[in-house]
Amino acid sequence: MSTSNIKLAFIGAGGMNREHAKAFADIPGVTLAGIHSRTRSKAEALAKETGIPLVCDTIAELHEKTQADLLVIALPEMSIRSVAEIAFALPWTILMEKPPGKDLEEALGLEALAQIHGRRIYVGLNRRFLGSTEAVLNDIHSRQEPRFIRVEDQQSLETARMIGHPEEIVQRWMYANSIHLVDYLRSLCRGAVKKITPISRWNPAAPAYVLAAVEFESGDVGLYEGTWNGPGPWSVTVNTPGRRWELRPLEQAKFVNAGERALNEVPQTDADKNFKPGFRRQAEEVLKAMRGEPSRAPTLASAIETMRMIAAIFEVA
């Protein structure tokens, strides 16, 4: 693989791969090489829109004709396993959209499959790369202070059904969509998880409120608050003795210093203005990892640790 010219292929012709294509195409040295989708007409439309020169009928053809270094997979959860069984056997690095499997069991199966084939797999946890998130990380990493992280999640199973998700995924919606919020606990707190204590438990028969405390070996503490089938925000607050941060919406960072009342707003980055927020920076980090440079690109193992946290918070398999 040339470190100065990365050939990129895609499986899936939905909106997520449209955004990935835009982000990667903006980086010098990246060539969009080809795409495959179960529905060829959709692949042809996305290829025309994004400048992808080749549409392939099979995954094997996609690899053979593009010799791509990096494959981006963005598919509905129910399609992931069958595609991975073919794609993981071919010699390319892979970036998968989240979640990496419909539940923890399937994700662990994908990890085992990747190990059999010796494949490097990264997962698209783009909110780690929002300009707002990176502003918080840069600040709290510069000060060795204890951290209390609170995440507020809101989900609607009826909305999930209305937008066409199969019931098998609706019943696993904490993996499919709450991963966006739960991952903040792992990315903002330090060290391994020490203990997870459900406070208000998940009731699949009557979903309402889920509350759980998460303690880390570093001494950092997280609190997950989920409102199910009711109104609520997606938000993150980060409390330290010297500064309190708030992400609400997640793309907007604001902070208050200790001893002050003024709310300071951090300007949105150009990368988040010009691309789907987090995608441009995420693409850079994946390419760094491919070049063997220090990188924050989330590995499959890292995403699975977030899924383990979800399983413990909701007390599900």
* DSSP string for 96-136: EESSSSSSHHHHHHHHHHHHHHT--EEEE-GGGGSHHHHHH
Strand order in 209-216's β-sheet? 193-200, 209-216, 221-228, 148-155, 235-239, 243-247, 253-257, 264-266
The tokens for 274 are: 């010009």
| Mean pLDDT of the 291-308 span | 97
- Is the pLDDT assigned to residue 1 strictly greater than 50? no
The matching CATH number, chosen from 3.40.50.720, 3.40.50.2020, 3.20.20.80, 2.60.40.10, for 6-127 is 3.40.50.720
Domain borders along the chain are 6-127, 128-269+300-314
Q: Mean pLDDT score of the chain, rounded to an integer?
A: 97
Residue 2: the pLDDT is 46
- Is the pLDDT assigned to residue 79 strictly greater than 60? yes
* Packing angle of the helix pair 279-290, 15-25 (nearest 10 deg): 60
Beta partners for 93? 70
- Is the pLDDT assigned to residue 300 strictly greater than 70? yes
Instruction: Strands of 146-258 (E only): list them.
Output: 148-155, 193-200, 209-216, 221-228, 235-239, 243-247, 253-257
- Is the pLDDT assigned to residue 80 strictly greater than 60? yes
| Mean pLDDT of the 171-175 span | 97
Instruction: Please indicate whether the domains covering 6-127 and 128-269+300-314 agree at the CATH topology level.
Output: no
In single-letter form, the type of residue at position 196 comes to I
| Mean pLDDT of the 70-82 span | 97
pLDDT tens figures, 223-253: 999 999 999 999 999 999 999 999 999 999 9
How do strand 93-97 and strand 253-257 relate by DSSP bridges?
A: unpaired
The tokens for 262 are: 């003024």
pLDDT tens figures, 263-297: 999 999 999 999 999 999 999 999 999 999 999 99
Alpha-helix residue ranges (DSSP H) falling in the chain: 15-25, 40-50, 59-66, 80-87, 104-117, 131-141, 157-162, 167-170, 173-176, 179-188, 270-274, 279-290, 300-314
CATH class of the structural domain 128-269+300-314? alpha beta
- Is the pLDDT assigned to residue 159 strictly greater than 90? yes
pLDDT tens figures, 190-217: 999 999 999 999 999 999 999 999 999 9
| Mean pLDDT of the 143-149 span | 96
Residue 317: the pLDDT is 78
What's the rounded Cα separation, in Å, for the pair 237 and 245? 6
What's the rounded Cα separation, in Å, for the pair 277 and 297? 15
44 DSSP 8-state letter: H
Percent of the residues in the chain that have a pLDDT greater than 70, as a whole number: 99
pLDDT tens figures, 85-136: 999 999 999 999 999 999 999 999 999 999 999 999 999 999 999 999 999 9
Q: φ and ψ at 148, to 5 degrees? A: -120, 115
